[in-house]
Homo-oligomer: A and B are copies of this chain.
Amino acid sequence: MLSPLILVNLKTYREGMGNRAHMIAQAAELVASESGVTIGIAPSYIDLHPLSHHFSIPVYAQHVDGCEPGANTGHITVDAIKSAGAAGSLVNHSERRLSLADIESSIRGLAVHNLISVVCTNNELAGAGAAAMGPDFVAIEPPELIGSGVSVSKANPDIIRRSVAAVHAVNPRVKVLTGAGIQSGECVKIAVDLGTDGVLLASSVVKAKDPGAVLRDLVSKL
């Protein structure tokens, strides 16, 4: 992957379901194609298959259970998201924390099925812990900045530098995403200049009146 990844988490926002999910995916596809930047989208389980079917951008699950197919009522297996066309999955998002054993089995299950794993963590030490298990990406989101409207890249560039260093000290092949408060092309530019491979963001795109305009701004300085 040469270009950074802009990964948009639709969460369960009302503004990120059904028709709105399609509209955001369409905007993402257009901006990705214009800019050459990779833009991914992580919708509800329900929208995984329709979005991956209708659009060329990579579609991610918001969570996956590392368990094998079997007696696991209410779980979502790697098989299931693969059959829905997912390119990968978030793992251990701050709103869906997992045990260490479950993170490890999710990373492994995704790798076995050639899907991309993006493990979310809250600080550089936990990021190093995640990196040691060999995911494709570690996304570091300082909890104090999540949903704060304050961009980590402006508020605390040092935490980004330290995170990249901590992750790469353990495993230099693991890519790093920056999360928490990313809102503009300038935030993305700072994050990438500090050594990360992209950003993970949510409300600033999903809740925007014009998600396409926000996406266009996000890639504008790359």
Contact = CB atoms under 8 A, between A and B. Distances in A.
Interface string A3-37: 00000010111100110000000000000000000
A95 B75 contact: yes
Interface string A74-96: 11110111011000001011111
A151 B94 CA distance: 32
A154 B67 CA distance: 28
Contact of A133 (B45, B80, B129): B129
Given A73-B63, A132-B131, A202-B71, A92 B96 contact: no
Contact of A75 (B81, B90, B96, B99): B96
A122 to B, nearest CB: 5
Interface stretch (A101-109, A184-192, A209-217): A101-109
How many chain copies does the complex carry?
4
Interface string A41-81: 01011101110000000000011000101111111110111
B125 A108 contact: yes
A12 B100 contact: no
Given A12-B67, A104-B125, A128-B133, A98 B96 contact: no
19 contacts: A12-B71, A12-B73, A12-B79, A13-B70, A44-B76, A44-B80, A46-B76, A46-B83, A73-B202, A74-B96, A75-B95, A92-B100, A98-B99, A100-B103, A125-B132, A125-B134, A128-B132, A129-B132, A131-B132
Given A9-B73, A12-B77, A17-B83, 7 more contacts: A18-B83, A45-B76, A46-B49, A63-B73, A100-B130, A125-B133, A129-B129
